[in-house]
Amino acid sequence: MADLEYLGMNKFKKFCYRTKNSFVEFPYKISNFFKTIPHKLKNSFKKVGSSLSEFADALIYGDWKTRLSFVFFGFGNIVHKQYLRGFLFLLYEIVFAFYMIGFGGQYISKFSTLGTVATVTLDNGFKKVGDNSFNILLYGVLTIFIIFCTIIVWISSVRQAYNSQRMTEINKKLSYGRDDLKNLGNKYYHTTLLSLPFVGLVIFTIVPLIFMIFVAFTNYNNLHLPPEKLFTWVGFSNFSTLISGNGLSGGDSEKFAYTFRIVLLWTIVWAVLATFSNYFIGMVVAIIINKKGIKFKKFWRTCLVTTIAVPQFVSLLLMSKMLATDGIYNVIITKLGGNAVRWLLDPSIAKCTVLLVNLWVGVPYTVLSCTGILMNIPDDLYEAARIDGANPYKMFTRITLPYMNFVMGPSLISAFVGNINNFNIIYLLTGGGPSYDVNMVATAGQTDLLITWLYKLTVNDQSYDMASVIGIFVFIIVALASLLTYSKIGSVKNEEDFQ
């Protein structure tokens, strides 16, 4: 269709045309995405290949010093008088050897079965300690990680030895310990700054996370609790329990699937409603406060900001008591002649209440950020619109709203993600309740989100396997939401534009 034809259409037709187009383009987008995968794979293989080929060169062309570095890390560096690097490599190898012999080896060898010898209580009352599946899985993951690191260190040690050999052959100056130390503040400054935080990230975030992802493929639940009992790999059966209701988890399978559907639906409904209600109401309030002719701007804003300043757990716990059946809100309502409202006890009212309280908590944030942006909209835009005879409503929909959407777009996504994981508001306000649906898994309630259900499954039920599966689903939802939107945001792609 020609551009002119498109311009000649009315609004509704344009909308239909665009909608149609986006559907038409969708398969292409998907196929393009998959078409780029082999390309990316090829590139990454190339990269790996080039570093490996250097590694192989070291074996073929290296002298005995370099070849000895295959066994003793850093040997090549030491003989070329790069003592600092050399001894660090050697130290790493020694520590690694001790770790594997004294700690890691026993776990990694049992990793494929997660232990075979259960702990048994003997006749005389003593316990014969067997394998602990939990430790095997956790430290197995850690050990795999460490082995992976060792391979990288090994390769780089050999490459450096070979490099030093070649440098001496052509009489080039090597980088000695003193230069290395100096370079830590300059050329290798990223290593200096990031290595310690990264180690923390690995130990306390990445390894536990990988562990929990693995747990999703085991039957680690209250029937298989270490150290008394063993758990083992079960493949994808937890996933099929949750999705279709036929898996290993005994009679509760169908309940799990039913509960999952309800909780998932409510989580998404909640996240969408909470995000958009917050955004629009916050924006309207911000516009009113910033309107010309409204006085005491600072006072209004300050009153709202108090809610941000008070810690969330305080305000939410307080709210939960104020909204109780005989809480202060109901007292006021009955005094005014109304009937007491079952704020947190009736399923559908409780859902509305949660959304309302979320407004109470969230609108001030939106007001704060919108205020800053509203002040940034150039005044001459409005001036021009006024001269052209636009009414306030038109100005709002044609100037303010598009501008805000443009600027607030990225933070809307993070708000959406934050709402999916909004633990505090549900757990502290309703505790997930009310729950009187007999078909649901006992602990899940009507207002439970995936994240609070996950919490209850781990803390109350010890169904770690199902909790992990749910965690993976939360990840998938969040990742999809981010993928769909991040690619459209220019600021993510062109980070260098601003420097």
Partner 1 sequence: MNYLNRKASKNVGAKVRRIIFNALLYIFLIVLVIFWVFPFFYLIIQSIRGDTVGLSTTMFPEGFNYTLQNYVKLFTDSNYNFFTWYLNTLFISVVVSIVQTIVVLMTAYTLSRLRFKGRKGLMKFMLIIGMFPGFLSMIAIYKILQTIGLSTSVFGLILVYISGSMMGYYISKGFFDTISKSLDEAAEIDGASKNVIFWKIILPLSKPIIIYTILVSFIGPWGDFMMANYLVGRAEKTSWTVAIGLQQWLTPTNSGLYFTRFCAGAVFVSVPIVILFFFLQRYYVEGITGGAVKG
Site for partner 1 in 389-408 (CB under 8 A): 406-408
User: Does 143 sit near partner 1 (CB under 8 A)?
Assistant: no
Kindly state the smallest distance separating residue 387's Cβ from partner 1, in Å.
17
CB proximity list for 453: less than 8 A, separation 6 or greater: 259, 263, 432, 443, 444, 470
State residue 142 phi and psi, 5-degree precision: -60, -45
Counting beta carbons within 10 angstroms of the beta carbon of residue 319, is it exposed (0 to 12), middle (13 to 18) or buried (19 or more)?
Answer: buried
Kindly state the smallest distance separating residue 376's Cβ from partner 1, in Å.
7
Q: For residues 142 and 136, give the distance between their C-alpha atoms in angstroms, rounded to a whole number.
A: 10
The three-state secondary structure class of 339 is coil
Per DSSP, what are the bridge partners of residue 218?
A: 233
Kindly state the smallest distance separating residue 417's Cβ from partner 1, in Å.
8
Kindly state the smallest distance separating residue 284's Cβ from partner 1, in Å.
10
For the chain, give the longest Cα–Cα distance: 97
Q: For residues 445 and 452, give the distance between their C-alpha atoms in angstroms, rounded to a whole number.
A: 10
Kindly state the smallest distance separating residue 46's Cβ from partner 1, in Å.
14
User: Does 273 sit near partner 1 (CB under 8 A)?
Assistant: no
Q: Which C-beta is closer to partner 1: that of 79 or that of 264?
A: 264
Q: Which C-beta is closer to partner 1: that of 30 or that of 318?
A: 318
Q: Binding partner 1 by CB under 8 A: which of 300, 382, 396, 403? A: 300
69-128 positions binding partner 1, by CB under 8 A: none
User: Does 146 sit near partner 1 (CB under 8 A)?
Assistant: no
Q: Which C-beta is closer to partner 1: that of 240 or that of 307?
A: 307
Q: For residues 392 and 415, give the distance between their C-alpha atoms in angstroms, rounded to a whole number.
A: 29
Q: Which C-beta is closer to partner 1: that of 200 or that of 402?
A: 200
Q: Binding partner 1 by CB under 8 A: which of 21, 112, 302, 397? A: 302
419-438 positions binding partner 1, by CB under 8 A: 421, 423-424, 427-428
User: Does 291 sit near partner 1 (CB under 8 A)?
Assistant: yes
188-247 positions binding partner 1, by CB under 8 A: 189-190, 192-194, 197-198, 200-201, 203-209, 211-212
CB proximity list for 127: less than 8 A, separation 6 or greater: 119, 120, 121
User: Does 368 sit near partner 1 (CB under 8 A)?
Assistant: yes
Single out the residue of 218, 263, 252 nearest to residue 432, CA to CA. 263
Question: Tokens 């909790």 label which residue?
Answer: 467
User: Does 177 sit near partner 1 (CB under 8 A)?
Assistant: no
Q: Which C-beta is closer to partner 1: that of 80 or that of 468?
A: 468
Kindly state the smallest distance separating residue 367's Cβ from partner 1, in Å.
10
Q: Which C-beta is closer to partner 1: that of 289 or that of 344?
A: 289
Kindly state the smallest distance separating residue 410's Cβ from partner 1, in Å.
6
Asked whether the beta carbons of 231 and 218 are under 8 A apart, the reply is yes
Name the DSSP class of 204.
Answer: I
Kindly state the smallest distance separating residue 132's Cβ from partner 1, in Å.
10
Q: Binding partner 1 by CB under 8 A: which of 175, 232, 290, 307? A: 307
> What is each CA distance from 76 to 27, 164, 244, in whole angstroms?
54, 7, 58
Asked whether the beta carbons of 465 and 444 are under 8 A apart, the reply is no
Q: Binding partner 1 by CB under 8 A: which of 152, 460, 491, 493? A: 491
User: Does 251 sit near partner 1 (CB under 8 A)?
Assistant: no
311-350 positions binding partner 1, by CB under 8 A: 311-315, 317-322, 324, 326-328, 331-332
Counting beta carbons within 10 angstroms of the beta carbon of residue 129, is it exposed (0 to 12), middle (13 to 18) or buried (19 or more)?
Answer: exposed
456-485 positions binding partner 1, by CB under 8 A: 458-459, 464, 467-468, 471, 474-475, 478-479, 482
| Other Cβ atoms within 10 Å of 434 Cβ, number | 17
Could you write out the three-class secondary structure of 141-200? Answer: HHHHHHHHHHHHHHHHHHHHHHHHHHHHHCCCCCCCHHHHHHHCCCCCHHHHHHHHHHHH
Q: Which two tokens stand for residue 370?
A: 């919108």
User: Does 59 sit near partner 1 (CB under 8 A)?
Assistant: no
Q: Which C-beta is closer to partner 1: that of 161 or that of 428?
A: 428
Q: For residues 44 and 23, give the distance between their C-alpha atoms in angstroms, rounded to a whole number.
A: 32
Kindly state the smallest distance separating residue 330's Cβ from partner 1, in Å.
9
347-366 positions binding partner 1, by CB under 8 A: 360, 364-365
User: Does 305 sit near partner 1 (CB under 8 A)?
Assistant: yes
User: Does 286 sit near partner 1 (CB under 8 A)?
Assistant: no
Q: Binding partner 1 by CB under 8 A: which of 271, 415, 417, 441? A: 417
Q: Which two tokens stand for residue 271?
A: 């996240």
Element (H, E) at 472: helix 464-486
Give how many residues touch partner 1 by CB under 8 A.
99
